Amino acid sequence: MATVVLIPALYGLGWVLTQPLGLILPETTASRLSLIGTVLSLVLFVLILPSWVRQRWNSRHPWRMLGLRSRRQAPSSGRCLVAGLLQSVALLTLISLPLLLGSWGRWLGELNAADALNALALCFGVGLAEELLFRGWLWGELSQYTGPRTAVVTQALIFSLVHTRFNLGVLPMVGLLVGLTLLGLILAVQRRLNDGSLWGCVGLHGGLVGGWFALQGGLLQISPSAPHWLIGPGGAHPNPLGGLVGIAALTVLLCRQLTALARAPRP
């Protein structure tokens, strides 16, 4: 019960704490208040996590259990982070190449300072926050109830449902659900491959989010006629993970990861 209530309760508390700002600063928009409330909720989440993990998971090393602090035998956090970022670059390259080769996209290579900073903020902010939530806390909580293997699939399904837009139509929505579920599985397997370190997941997830923002922000000009099966659903704001190329690339990556995991020595 506490697992189900925690995140909505923190989100609601963050919303309540931001409401006085609307009275003090009337020019503050609703979207900005929502963003501030989300950040406050995240701060509260991080503050309570150590005691939560100590009490509910019976662990004396909460940050190690969550994957933010590497075990002695594990690869370094920096190495995992860079490897994850390189994986995201490879995936975005595979998604972008058909656009360029098929004349649906044109490389501009232009990115102003504001968009570059936004891309970096999305990369490390969203990457760290969501990985700590889904592959850190949620996976750990689900493992307490269902076991680690079932928890891997369950966290991926929850991750996809939270991020899917349900106003896209049946086929686009199914494509996005499949792509996001594959990404959730890949990120979980990546953490296993990194001996429990979360930083490879942060690099891969954050690199995809920040990298796609940078591509759309000026690096790549995408034609309005680009097919949805290629660029993914979403209209003016497409998500390439829901397209056929994105799903195929994620499937190949997951198969490679599972092969590597099967060949890895048992602890």
- On whether the CB atoms of residues 107 and 100 are closer than 8 A, the answer is yes
Classify 183 in phi/psi space as left (phi over 0), alpha (psi -120 to 50) or beta. alpha
Task: Encode 140-169: b = buried (16+ Cβ within 10 Å), e = exposed.
Answer: bbbbeeeeeeebbebbbebbbeebbeeebe
The structure tokens listed for 111 are 């990115």
Mean pLDDT of 117-137: 95
Output the six-digit token pair for 153.
């699939």
Determine the average pLDDT of the residues in 97-106. 88
pLDDT at 144: 87
CA dist., res. 89 & res. 219, Å (int): 13
Tell me the angle at which helices 30-56 and 2-24 cross, rounded to the nearest 10 degrees: 150
pLDDT at 122: 93
| pLDDT bracket for residue 102 (50, 70, 90) | confident
Question: Looking at residue 18, what DSSP letter applies?
Answer: H
Confidence of residue 174 (pLDDT cuts 50, 70, 90): very high
- Integer-rounded Cα Rg, in Å, for the chain is 19
**Predicted TM-score (pTM) of this structure:** 0.91
Report whether pLDDT(267) > 60: no
